[in-house]
Every structure is written in structure tokens, then in C-alpha cells.
Amino acid sequence: MDQQTEVKKKVMLSGIQPSGDLHLGNYLGAVKNWAELAEQFQCYYFMADLHSITVRQNPADLRRRSISQLAQYIACGLDPEKNTLFLQSHVHEHAELGWILNCYTMFGELSRMTQFKDKSAKNAENINGGLFTYPALMAADILLYQADFVPVGQDQKQHCELTRDIAIRFNNIYGPTFTVPEPYIPKVGARVMSLSVPTSKMSKSDPQGCVFIMDPPEEIARKFKRAVTDSDTENCVRWDPEQKPGVANLMNIYSAVTGLSFEQIEHDFAGKGYGVFKPTVGDAVIETLRPIREESSRMIAEKEYLRTVYTEGAQRASSVARRTLRKVYKRVGFVEKPF
């Protein structure tokens, strides 16, 4: 009976590039929501190390961050017994299906991806082929596991839509092969903006406007005190994302960490102004991140344990990925491997 329930569970899958330390945007837009899904879904989460080398990485830092990201996933509540946690490069099927899907993804589609446009503007000296074909590898990540849902922040919606188009295209040519996945985007926290430039998304490439999970409390307090609010003279905590993007961002963050509605927040801070609101949001974020930071630091030291987690994770992932890849090889016309 147990096994049958297991088989019927819908599949969730997501990944984060270990190209920087996890930040509040990654947490509220993605990881926080993952932990609650384990009972209801079959969940796979990985460190997207293959994706991260589309931007030049220091090898030692990449290795260290891939492991510390795993520790942070666990500290955020992802139980390795209930979720399959692994490193993307340990499951070679990702690269193999990635190549195949490249051949079913159009140049025009890839040219329209905003992440490609943003990253090539930021890395003008290294606009490599991998950066361009990145979405075909992301489609492979998702389709290998026949994922039903992909929990991500708003910025990944375009890639998820392209994955659907690729899956539908392949299924139309060869018959049903892939589950067509849907993005799973939270209502609050889906788009956390930079504290210094509230019209850009919070990103590790802007450390002043970015709150990292591992930042010490004093640092988080300092970043929130300096958060850019709005140049209006109103000094009033009111939800108006068009006119007041800085305040709206703080309200979004505060709502995501406390569960309070925007109306309730407006009511609680009526007449109090930004000088009171900013440090209050900072304190709420400090208390949310404190246990995660402490647990991550403790776990990073447990190297053998982490190694067991990612070894078992890759073995489990690979046994599923292998089945899909075999089916795809057959569909496209490759001769069956004799060994």
C-alpha cells in the first residue's frame, strides 16, 4: 500500500546554482516553500553546478559552495530522508539529455530569454554557448524526472514555459515521452527586490542590496537600516508598488516572514514612518534566518554525513533519470547499447 501511494505522488523538482551563497530571495522565493512539500510530493532538489559554470567560477569556491549549499538546504528544513538531494554533475543523464534537447530548442526561443540577456550584459567578456543554451539543460533537469511542478521564483517562469514548449514539441513528434510540468510560484516572496535598488531583483551580484542567509545579525540590521525607501515626503507605510517600490519590497519581505497581510502591516505601522518600519523588518528577518544560519554552520562541519546524503541522493536520482533517458534514446532512433 505504501509503495502504491509513493508511486502516485506528484513530482516536484528544483535547483539553485551554487554560484554564490544563498540569499533571502532564494529563501523566500524558493527554498522556504520546498520544505512544506515533502509529505505531499516526491521531491528532488539539486545544486545546479553544471549551470553555474556558464559564468566563470573559481574551482575551489565552487566545490566549497556546492557542499555548503547542501548544508543550507537541510538547515532550511529539507529532510534528506524525505527529499532526494544531489549534485547535478553526479547524475550524468542531465548533460546527456541536455544535448538532445538542444536539438529540439529553437535559436529564436533562446534569444528571447531575459536571463540570457541580463547575464550577457553583466558578463560581456564571456558570452559563451552554455549561457545561451542554458534553458535546454534546465529543461533536461526537469523532464528527466517527469516533474509535475517546478517551485521557483518569478524570474524562472520564462524558463519553465520554454521547458513546457520543448516537452510538448518532443511529445508531438515521438508520442508521449515527457510529463509537461507547471511552474509553482509562491504568492508572497516570489520576487524579492534589492534593498539598495528596489527596482532590480535581489541578487548575489549586488552584495549591498542582498541579505545572505549566512550574514551575521549586525550585518542584516545594517542592510535594512540603509534600505532605500522612497523619495516621497509621505513617510507612510502604504502598499503602492508603482509609486513606492522600496516600501512595497519591505512589506513583501515582512509579510513573507511574519505571515501578516499587507492591510494588517499598513494598520500596525500607521503613523510610525520608515524609521520604525525598517529596523522592525530587519529584526523579523534576523529571527527567521538565525536558526538556519546556526544549523548550517553546524552541519558544514559534518563532512561525512553530507557526503552520505549526496551519494544516496545521486543514486536515487540516477535510477529515475536513467529510465527516461533510455526511453528518449529509443524514441530518437539511437541503437540500443549492447552493454
Assess 209 for contact with ligand ATP (CB under 6 A).
no
Q: Which of 11, 12, 17, 203 binds ligand LTN (CB under 6 A)?
A: 17
Stretch that binds ligand LTN, among 9-17, 192-200, 254-262, 263-271 (CB under 6 A): 9-17
Complex with ligand LTN: residue 181 or 198, whichever CB lies closer: 181
Q: DSSP class of residue 269? A: T
Residue type at position 335: V
Q: Binding residues for ligand LTN, how many (CB under 6 A)?
A: 14
Q: Which of 37, 136, 142, 192 binds ligand LTN (CB under 6 A)?
A: 142
Q: Closest distance between ligand LTN and the C-beta of residue 134, in Å? A: 7
Stretch that binds ligand LTN, among 12-20, 58-66, 208-216, 299-307 (CB under 6 A): 12-20
> What distances in angstroms separate CA 315 from CA 93, 179, 292, 311, one per listed residue?
12, 22, 27, 6
Stretch that binds ligand LTN, among 3-11, 152-160, 185-193, 250-258 (CB under 6 A): 152-160
Q: Give first-to-last CA distance, the chain, whole Å.
A: 35
Cα 275 from Cα 222, distance rounded (Å): 13
Neighbours of 202 (CB within 10 A): 25
**Scanning residues 148 to 167, which ones bind ligand ATP (CB under 6 A)?**
152-153, 155-156
Assess 192 for contact with ligand ATP (CB under 6 A).
yes
Complex with ligand LTN: residue 156 or 280, whichever CB lies closer: 156
**Grid coordinates representing 13?**
523538482
φ and ψ at 193, to 5 degrees?
Answer: -95, 165
Assess 146 for contact with ligand ATP (CB under 6 A).
no
| Catalytic annotation present for 204 | yes
Residue type at position 170: F
Cα 53 from Cα 243, distance rounded (Å): 38
Assess 245 for contact with ligand ATP (CB under 6 A).
no
How many helices (H) and strands (E) in the chain?
A: 15, 5
> What distances in angstroms separate CA 31 from CA 74, 96, 279, 295, one per listed residue?
10, 27, 24, 15
H or E segment to which residue 85 belongs: strand 83-87
Q: Which positions lie near ligand LTN, rule CB under 6 A?
A: 13-17, 48, 51, 138, 141-142, 150, 152, 156, 159
- Catalytic residue numbers read 119, 201, 204
Q: Which positions lie near ligand ATP, rule CB under 6 A?
A: 16-17, 19, 25-26, 29-30, 152-153, 155-156, 190-192, 201-205
